[in-house]
Amino acid sequence: MRRSLRAAFGALALVVGFVLAVPPACLADSQAPARPKFGPDAIPLTQAPDYLRSHPAPDYWALSGFYVPQQTTSACALASIVTVLNAFRGLPAEAEEPIVTQAALLEATADPVFEAKVAEGGDGIFFDDLAAYLEASLRAYGLEGYAIEVARPVADTPEELAKLQALLAENESSAEDFLLVYFNQGVLTGDWDGPHVSPVGAYDAGTGRVLLLDVDREWYLPYWSGADRLLQAMLRPAPADQGVLAGQTGGLVRLKRVRS
């Protein structure tokens, strides 16, 4: 995500315009009203906590203690993988063993391509690479007893929505699996139009809402959005200004615990 850079350019343009031609009174009159933090398709968790109070929500409680913000504007996949990896691995038993951090994971995987993609100003990753980087991360920490599945919707249809809802409901039933979602963030938040990765925190089948543990913590906290809108967010192609990611659509990567 490159929102910080975009905001800096916007601020620069505003200053230049003010210096060149615009009197303060005119500037104030011409400014559009401030937009809300979330668009109509996202409800912040602070405004809708009832589901977590009245349901077990096993994934939320497994993930929330390890939920971290992305360390750069391009590191959403890295932060999401770290969150899920720690939840799958569990809290280390020994005092001297640390929890996995984003810096530690990059060191453990020792993949210069991945490191460059998630560095500040990096390109970010393709959806097709998300499962591979997740598996490389699990192997780097010697973890076993897992399976990784990929679900990629192909159309905004009732059939695809039903499949998504079934997967979300199954995921919600236990903390034996976790979901990473690759989606267009702006479809849900009403703002930045570009590809993003975050863990799924919970699913409320009664309302059809999904809780996204959005790792873009500079701007957001966890929020609920309809499964129908999440489907649309996964299907929306990244715009042309996203460089090598232009045209990318998303999907879900599922990490399952396999008992022997």
| CATH code of residue 105 | 3.90.70.30
Q: What's the pTM?
A: 0.88
pLDDT > 70 fraction of the chain, expressed in percent and rounded: 88
Domain, as residue range, for 242: 41-257
Radius of gyration of the chain (CA): 19
Residue 10 in any domain: the answer is no
Of 81, 88, 84, residue with least CA distance to 115: 81
DSSP-assigned letters across all residues of 175-241? SSEEEEEEEEHHHHHSS--SEEEEEEEEEETTTTEEEE--S-TTT---EEEEHHHHHHHHHSPPPGG
Is residue 19 one of the residues assigned to a domain?
no
| Residues 211-231 pLDDT 10s | 999 999 999 999 999 999 999
pLDDT digits (tens, 9 = 90+) for 167-216: 999 999 999 999 999 999 999 999 989 999 999 999 999 999 999 999 99
Question: Is residue 65 included in any domain, yes or no?
Answer: yes
Q: Is residue 241 part of a domain?
A: yes
- pLDDT surpasses 80 at 250: yes
> What is the per-residue pLDDT across 11-68, written as a single tens digit (0 to 9) for each?
433 333 333 333 433 334 456 678 889 989 999 999 999 999 999 999 999 999 999 9
Q: What is the mean pLDDT of residues 133-148?
A: 98
Rounded CA-CA distance 231/251 in Å is 8
Give residue 13's pLDDT.
39
Q: Which residue pairs, CB below 8 angstroms and at least 24 apart, start in 95-102? A: 99/66, 100/141, 101/68, 102/68, 102/70, 102/71, 102/75, 102/78
pLDDT of res. 98? 97
Split into its structural domains, the chain has a count of: 1
Mean pLDDT of the chain: 90
CA distance 22 to 180: 46
Which of 113, 259, 67 has its CA nearest to residue 177?
259
For residue 1, is pLDDT > 60?
no
Query: Is 32 a member of any domain?
Result: no
Looking at the predicted structure, is the pLDDT value of residue 131 above 70? yes
Judge whether 102 and 114 are in contact, CB under 8 Å.
no
Nearest to 102 by CA among 88, 83, 74: 83
Q: Does residue 8 sit within a domain?
A: no
